[in-house]
Amino acid sequence: MSSNRDGMTKEYAADEIVVEWEPRLCFHSQNCVRALPQVFDDSRRPWVQVDAATADDVEAAVARCPSGALRTRRIGAQAPKRQQWSELRASENGPLLITGGVRILDAEGNTLYEGERAALCRCGGSSNKPFCDGTHKKNGFRG
Ligand code: FES
């Protein structure tokens, strides 16, 4: 295990693949642990043992990480072309503002919205979650 240059990402390497873990993004969905417990075990240190499964299996398990805290890169492979990024910006004392195109799904995978911009509730008070309905102006949300 090592940390990369930004000091915020830990790296776990095997011969073919590197798993990167950025703890500040992790919300502990446990998807990785359920997918590949021999590799991802948060009761063990180090909690990632990349060489306990094939690189393909590790890659598939990491692809189930919903937060982006876990990522992989193949050793010797060219970095994939960067996609055009959408942008999420926290507004002062208000919603998360998304620009650049987004599709928002409910828990069953049904599309709630597709479009160029959206405002998502950060205060927890909206009656129209995940969208902001302006309640943050009345409930004293600061953030
Ligand atoms: S951020 Fe606007 S209602 Fe929660």
* Domain residue spans of the chain: 2-74, 87-137
Give the residue whose CA is nearest to atom 2 of ligand 1: 132
118 in ligand 1 pocket by Cβ < 6 Å? no
Per-residue model confidence as pLDDT tens for the chain (143 residues): 666 656 789 999 999 999 999 998 888 989 999 999 999 999 999 999 999 999 999 999 999 998 889 999 999 888 777 778 899 999 999 999 998 888 999 999 999 998 888 899 999 999 999 999 999 999 999 99
pLDDT of residue 3: 62
pLDDT of residue 130: 94
125 in ligand 1 pocket by Cβ < 6 Å? yes
What is the spatial distance between Cα 94 and Cα 131, in angstroms, rounded to a whole number? 11
What is the spatial distance between Cα 105 and Cα 111, in angstroms, rounded to a whole number? 4
pLDDT of residue 6: 64
Compute the distance from residue 26 Cα to the ligand 1 centre, in Å: 23
Query: Which is nearest to 94 in space by CA: 41, 52, 66, 135?
Result: 135
Tokens of 47: 């909690």
Compute the distance from residue 67 Cα to the ligand 1 centre, in Å: 21
pLDDT of residue 138: 96
What is the spatial distance between Cα 62 and Cα 5, in angstroms, rounded to a whole number? 22
Class of the CATH domain delimited by 2-74? alpha beta
What is the spatial distance between Cα 101 and Cα 98, in angstroms, rounded to a whole number? 8
* Opening angle at CA 79, ends 76 and 80, nearest 5: 135
Look up the pTM and report it. 0.73
94 in ligand 1 pocket by Cβ < 6 Å? yes
